[in-house]
Amino acid sequence: MEAYLDNAATTRAFDSVKDIMIETLSMDYGNPSSKHLKGMEAERYIRDAKDIISKRLKVEPKEIIFTSGGTESNNMALIGTALANKRRGNHIITTGIEHSSVHNPLIFLEENGFQITYVPVDSYGKVITEELLSAVKEDTILVSIMYVNNEIGSVQNISEISKKVKAKNPNVILHVDAIQAFGKYNIYPKREGIDLLSVSGHKIHGPKGSGFLYIKDKIKIKPILYGGGQEKGMRSGTENVPAIAGLGQAVKEIYENHEDKIKNLYHIKKSFIEEVSQIEGVTINGAGDKLEDSAPHIVSASFEGIRSEVLLHALEEKGIYVSSGSACSSNHPALSGTLKAIGVRDDLLDATIRFSFSVNTNMKEIGYTVDMLKELLPVLRRFRRH
């Protein structure tokens, strides 16, 4: 049997996504900047995708900029906003549990004269609001906080954070990395006080290499790519029409019967946590007092006495696919900053596995995974002791 439980890394594309991409690759393959019929056919896919996404977010189509994915969206949001607003200030606030596609652009900005403040989180991965507010200053231009943490699934109260931050400094621009949240939550940027929102397509059963950045109208932001002036000059380069069309279709389908999908994900998560928690030497990280306090699709579990990489490959041999952390950083092994930030014991930092689910996950996969953990853990622990 095979159990793919690494959906926070990437998801299998919907069949409808594959179909529309094939259509744009084989039939409607024109350059959307071309003035002839083929170009107009290609442009229609871009326009349709913007309409789908903007209606879902309740924003204007002109506020959506297509990108190559979450990393580019985050880089554009952070670097573009910092450069456009540096006369007003050079202070940026973030947390200690952000994804590397936020953390590393901020290191770049720090090297170029910007001041970065990292606010702490509690043991559940929630931002300590008092610490955040005390960090806001007159020269703070940007606050960047992820909606859902990609390793432990902690969820931030973005509306409350935005309201309090902007009450202290109305000029602060709020960027939200929603790469693990979009498709799991109904997100409405204008209602929640979000100025910039990053989304990736392959986390919601769309194609890799697709994503978008919501930029609230009137927000000052500089492009980080220059060229032919596509996407209103914000993202030059011939548009990736197949990816954009696939992204639009994925957004449409992921939100169909959305409440039922999320209810089922929480049922799967609850069953998995209940079963795994009964195994000796297992700790669930950052889950919160209530199941709904964390995202429906991510479980972080530490396995005492076993290195995460050893367990990952042992599960792989059984056809079970999981992650030992953020897949985007898997080629650069390092102890998780998120796990350190929430106070996970030192001996468990390199003994933690992330299990992540999707609309394709079923209870048979969960049962099989639990059975294999019960079978493998005693063997691996005994092997380590020798």
Residue 233 has pLDDT above 90, yes or no: no
Q: How far apart are CA 249 and CA 200, in angstroms?
A: 13
Structure confidence by residue, pLDDT tens digits, 58-117: 999 999 999 999 999 999 999 999 999 999 999 999 999 999 999 999 999 999 999 999
Distance, CA of 333 to chain centre? 20
Residue from 328, 367, 368, 381 carrying the catalytic annotation = 328
The answer to whether the CB of 215 falls within 8 A of the CB of 183 is no
Q: Is 153 helix (H, G, I), strand (E, B) or coil?
A: coil
Q: Is 315 helix (H, G, I), strand (E, B) or coil?
A: helix
Structure confidence by residue, pLDDT tens digits, 140-194: 999 999 999 999 999 999 999 999 999 999 999 999 999 999 999 999 999 999 9
| Structural element, H or E, at residue 221 | none
Residue 292: which pLDDT band, with cuts at 50, 70 and 90?
A: confident
Residue 370 has pLDDT above 80, yes or no: yes
Q: What is the pLDDT of residue 147?
A: 98
| Cross-strand bridge partners of residue 95 | 119
Residue 385: which pLDDT band, with cuts at 50, 70 and 90?
A: very low
Q: Cα separations (Å) of 172 from 68, 116, 164?
A: 27, 14, 11
DSSP 172: P
Residue 324 has pLDDT above 50, yes or no: yes
CATH superfamily of domain region 3-11+257-385: Aspartate Aminotransferase, domain 1 (3.90.1150.10)
Read off the pTM. 0.94
- Short-list 220, 199, 105, 119, CA closest to 164: 119
**Residue burial 39-51, b: 16+ Cβ < 10 Å; e: rest:** eebbbebbebbbe
Task: For the chain, give the percent of residues with pLDDT over 70.
Answer: 96
The answer to whether the CB of 269 falls within 8 A of the CB of 291 is yes
CB count, 10 Å around CB of 111? Answer: 8
**What's domain 15-254's architecture?**
3-Layer(aba) Sandwich (3.40)
Residue 336 has pLDDT above 90, yes or no: no
Where are the domains positioned within the chain?
A: 3-11+257-385, 15-254
Q: What is the pLDDT of residue 384?
A: 63
User: What value does the CA radius of gyration of the chain take, rounded to a whole number of Å?
Assistant: 21
Q: How far apart are CA 63 and CA 121, in angstroms?
A: 31
Q: Which of 159-163, 264-268, 381-385 comes out lowest in average pLDDT?
A: 381-385
Residue 228: which pLDDT band, with cuts at 50, 70 and 90?
A: confident
CB count, 10 Å around CB of 226? Answer: 11
| Cross-strand bridge partners of residue 198 | 177, 213
Residue 242 falls in the annotated catalytic set = no
Q: What is the pLDDT of residue 189?
A: 98
Q: How far apart are CA 353 and CA 152, in angstroms?
A: 10
Residue 332 has pLDDT above 60, yes or no: no
Q: How far apart are CA 269 and CA 291, in angstroms?
A: 8
* Identity of the amino acid at 305: G
Q: Which residue has the higher pLDDT, 43 or 326?
A: 43
- Short-list 201, 139, 207, 198, CA closest to 171: 139
Q: Is 303 helix (H, G, I), strand (E, B) or coil?
A: strand
Domains 3-11+257-385 and 15-254 agree in fold: no
Q: What is the pLDDT of residue 231?
A: 85
Read off the pLDDT of each residue in 300-304 and give the average, rounded to a whole number: 96
Residue 302: which pLDDT band, with cuts at 50, 70 and 90?
A: very high
Q: What is the pLDDT of residue 386?
A: 43
Give Dmax over CA atoms of the chain in angstroms.
71
Residue 142 tokens read as 């940007």
Q: What is the pLDDT of residue 290?
A: 84
